[in-house]
Chains A and B, each alone.
Chain A
Amino acid sequence: MQQNHTQLADDSYFAAVTNAIRTETTKLLSEGTVAAVIGYQAGTRAGTVIPTIITDAAKAGDLVFSPGCVNNLALYLTKAKKEVRPAGKVAIIAKGCDMRALAGLLGESQLKREELHIIGVACVGVKGAGAGSGEALTTGTIARKCRECTVRAPEGADVVVGAVPPLPEFSPVEAEELARLEAMTPAERWAFWKGHFSRCIRCMACRQVCPFCYCEQCLCDRNRPQALETTPRPAGNMAWHIVRAMHLAGRCAGCTECERACPMDIPLNLLNRKMARELKTLYDFEAGLVPVEKGPLTEYREEDDQSFIK
């Protein structure tokens, strides 16, 4: 199988990004520009990484960038992680997709731009589900979202590290998946999601890794009155995922963390992408391009489409 796949960037690309991140981190921390740098450090298994918060310039050498850098680190800037977010100005390593989450959080007044130093990574892509921890980044192991990436060169960062080498054309797996979903009849779609959500075990990984799930009181933890059943049974599962999709519509910037984190392989981002498509069609709105104060679902305009009111 593997012989048909070509490696996407040689080690020198990742080494260059890693070095640039380390240099920038050393500079920022030693000059006192920022209190901390949120980045990736090598994990225990070959090719894996773990998120890390570095406050000491001497530790800059721990930071890495590799095809395993899948996490959206914006999570660590949200209210949900307020206990670990260092006070003061913070630098963060952000791929283009992660930057869209930052833009969203800025728009929702969860972050202040002047308290952020964004180290953008010109990104080749990261590895997807099913890729072994030791495998290289190839046309076969690249994450599906990266095949259709439009933000390889991040805009709006304080500094951009790395240079994306020429990449082959990718067939759009996600777009095809969305097209298949849209081609279904409502009954088929219902059955499709019912099947997937029946596997949900309510581990809440989707919520916990989502940069936009920062509510201090999540609807699904409320019990006075109880909005939805908490046990992993079909009705509650369906309700939970619908509520989440609605709550993220116009906000989700498509980082795919929910889908990646789901231990039951539920295609959660497909639902988010479908919602994004709807918002694009109805309101010509795309989340996370630039910080906006109000998304389409929190704002009323005369010309808004009202055809859904029947």
Chain B
Amino acid sequence: MCDHTKNIYKPQLATIEAMIDETPDVRTLRLVFQDEAVRESFSFRAGQFAEYSAFGAGESTFCIASSPTRKGYIECCFRATGRVTEALRRLEVGETIGVRGPYGNSFPIESFFGKNLVFVAGGIALPPLRTVIWNCLDWRDKFGDITIVYGARTEADLVYKHELKEWQERGDVRLVKTVDPGGNSPGWDGKVGFVPTILEEAAPAAENTIGLVCGPPIMIKFTLPVLEKLGFKDDSIYTTLENRMKCGLGKCGRCNVGNVYVCKDGPVFTAAQVKGMPQEF
């Protein structure tokens, strides 16, 4: 037996228990750790991420998209755009992937108790908020009003369609879903318009409310001024940053935005923090 510390780069093995094709190129994997002790002990907070490996192709970084309140499995959601994500996509139910994590900080959900929540998400960026949404829905009585504004380019690009339906049907959530102009098909029962515009229209009250925003940079750029107009303060708006990562451990030198390491100091930041950072993300 050697006395050295453990290999921080070694992933845990997990079995793909189920998969859902959210869109033609976005897939959700439900993963169950193979080691029973890990299955029992693995815990994380909403907002944290992990490194997922397809052996032979490498590792890729995504948030843990399931809620920490749902035990026994984790979920990730990714678009096949690179070597690793394409390899992950080739895996079948029952096959093995590697998972390292959880890494990074998280949403301070306990500090949101007693407040209203407004979630604003675009496209493939719903997963990092979906973990928070379910976490909060599972603790529904801790929060005031919950509003979700979610949009994508087209109907087909909306992820978690079955869950959108569930949220829509619940009486305790206000879901405002939208697609970009031209992205709707006949029978679309949501809004048509860009997320910032629809958010402005929906006009959730800012008082005693936390805003949580995730989306492509362009969406964030136009959403923050809307929230500001609605009366949200920068320190009550949360978002996540994504930069290319390799180690996830604050060592490999890739993901920094100025002196902030997204993998360790993030990925969750307030709008006030983001505004203080150099433009390097």
Using a CB–CB cutoff of 8 Å, the interface residues on chain A facing chain B are 223-224, 226
Shortest CB-to-CB span from B53 to chain A, Å, is: 15
| Residues of chain B lying within 8 A (CB to CB) of residue A226 | 83
How would you classify the secondary structure of chain A's contact residues: helix, strand, loop or mixed? Answer: strand
Q: Can you sample 6 A-B contacts with CB below 8 Å?
A: A223-B82, A223-B83, A224-B82, A224-B83, A224-B86, A226-B83
Query: 0/1 per residue, B70-99, Cβ < 8 Å to A?
Result: 000000000000110010000000000000
A-B pairs with lowest CB-CB distance, top 6: A223-B83, A224-B83, A224-B86, A226-B83, A224-B82, A223-B82
| Residues of chain A lying within 8 A (CB to CB) of residue B86 | 224
Shortest CB-to-CB span from A70 to chain B, Å, is: 31
Shortest CB-to-CB span from B79 to chain A, Å, is: 14
| Residues of chain B lying within 8 A (CB to CB) of residue A223 | 82-83
Q: How far is the CA of A224 from the CA of B90 in the complex (A)?
A: 14
In the complex, what residue of chain B is closest to A222 when comparing beta carbons? B83
Q: How far is the CA of A223 from the CA of B59 in the complex (A)?
A: 13
Shortest CB-to-CB span from A146 to chain B, Å, is: 40
| Residues of chain A lying within 8 A (CB to CB) of residue B82 | 223-224
In the complex, what residue of chain B is closest to A225 when comparing beta carbons? B83
| Residues of chain A lying within 8 A (CB to CB) of residue B83 | 223-224, 226
In the complex, what residue of chain A is closest to B58 when comparing beta carbons? A223
Q: How far is the CA of A107 from the CA of B82 in the complex (A)?
A: 35
Shortest CB-to-CB span from B155 to chain A, Å, is: 29
Shortest CB-to-CB span from B148 to chain A, Å, is: 35
Q: How far is the CA of A226 from the CA of B82 in the complex (A)?
A: 11
Shortest CB-to-CB span from A289 to chain B, Å, is: 42
Shortest CB-to-CB span from A242 to chain B, Å, is: 23
Q: How far is the CA of A223 from the CA of B83 in the complex (A)?
A: 6
| Residues of chain B lying within 8 A (CB to CB) of residue A224 | 82-83, 86
Q: How far is the CA of A18 from the CA of B82 in the complex (A)?
A: 51
Query: 0/1 per residue, B17-38, Cβ < 8 Å to A?
Result: 0000000000000000000000
In the complex, what residue of chain A is closest to B83 when comparing beta carbons? A223
Q: How far is the CA of A213 from the CA of B2 in the complex (A)?
A: 48
Q: How far is the CA of A223 from the CA of B81 in the complex (A)?
A: 12
Q: How far is the CA of A30 from the CA of B82 in the complex (A)?
A: 50
In the complex, what residue of chain A is closest to B84 when comparing beta carbons? A223
Shortest CB-to-CB span from B250 to chain A, Å, is: 22
Q: How far is the CA of A54 from the CA of B83 in the complex (A)?
A: 42
Shortest CB-to-CB span from B199 to chain A, Å, is: 36
Shortest CB-to-CB span from B2 to chain A, Å, is: 26
Shortest CB-to-CB span from B232 to chain A, Å, is: 38
Q: How far is the CA of A251 from the CA of B86 in the complex (A)?
A: 36
In the complex, what residue of chain B is closest to A224 when comparing beta carbons? B83
Q: How far is the CA of A57 from the CA of B81 in the complex (A)?
A: 48
Shortest CB-to-CB span from A227 to chain B, Å, is: 12
In the complex, what residue of chain A is closest to B81 when comparing beta carbons? A224
Q: How far is the CA of A168 from the CA of B86 in the complex (A)?
A: 62
In the complex, what residue of chain B is closest to A226 when comparing beta carbons? B83
Q: How far is the CA of A226 from the CA of B84 in the complex (A)?
A: 11
Shortest CB-to-CB span from A218 to chain B, Å, is: 16
Q: How far is the CA of A266 from the CA of B83 in the complex (A)?
A: 32
Q: How far is the CA of A39 from the CA of B83 in the complex (A)?
A: 41
Q: How far is the CA of A243 from the CA of B83 in the complex (A)?
A: 22
Q: How far is the CA of A223 from the CA of B56 in the complex (A)?
A: 12
Q: How far is the CA of A226 from the CA of B56 in the complex (A)?
A: 11
Q: How far is the CA of A68 from the CA of B82 in the complex (A)?
A: 44
Q: How far is the CA of A226 from the CA of B83 in the complex (A)?
A: 9
Shortest CB-to-CB span from B58 to chain A, Å, is: 8
Q: How far is the CA of A223 from the CA of B86 in the complex (A)?
A: 11
Q: How far is the CA of A56 from the CA of B82 in the complex (A)?
A: 45
Shortest CB-to-CB span from B134 to chain A, Å, is: 34
Shortest CB-to-CB span from B88 to chain A, Å, is: 13
Shortest CB-to-CB span from B157 to chain A, Å, is: 23
Shortest CB-to-CB span from A223 to chain B, Å, is: 4
Shortest CB-to-CB span from A217 to chain B, Å, is: 14
Q: How far is the CA of A226 from the CA of B86 in the complex (A)?
A: 13
Q: How far is the CA of A103 from the CA of B105 in the complex (A)?
A: 55
Shortest CB-to-CB span from A236 to chain B, Å, is: 15
Q: How far is the CA of A223 from the CA of B82 in the complex (A)?
A: 8
Kindly identify, within residues 244 to 274 of chain B, every residue whose CB is under 8 Å from any CB belonging to chain A: none
Shortest CB-to-CB span from A225 to chain B, Å, is: 8
Q: How far is the CA of A67 from the CA of B26 in the complex (A)?
A: 58
Q: How far is the CA of A15 from the CA of B17 in the complex (A)?
A: 76
In the complex, what residue of chain B is closest to A223 when comparing beta carbons? B83
Shortest CB-to-CB span from A64 to chain B, Å, is: 36
Kindly identify, within residues 25 to 57 of chain B, every residue whose CB is under 8 Å from any CB belonging to chain A: none
Shortest CB-to-CB span from B256 to chain A, Å, is: 22
Kindly identify, within residues 203 to 258 of chain B, every residue whose CB is under 8 Å from any CB belonging to chain A: none
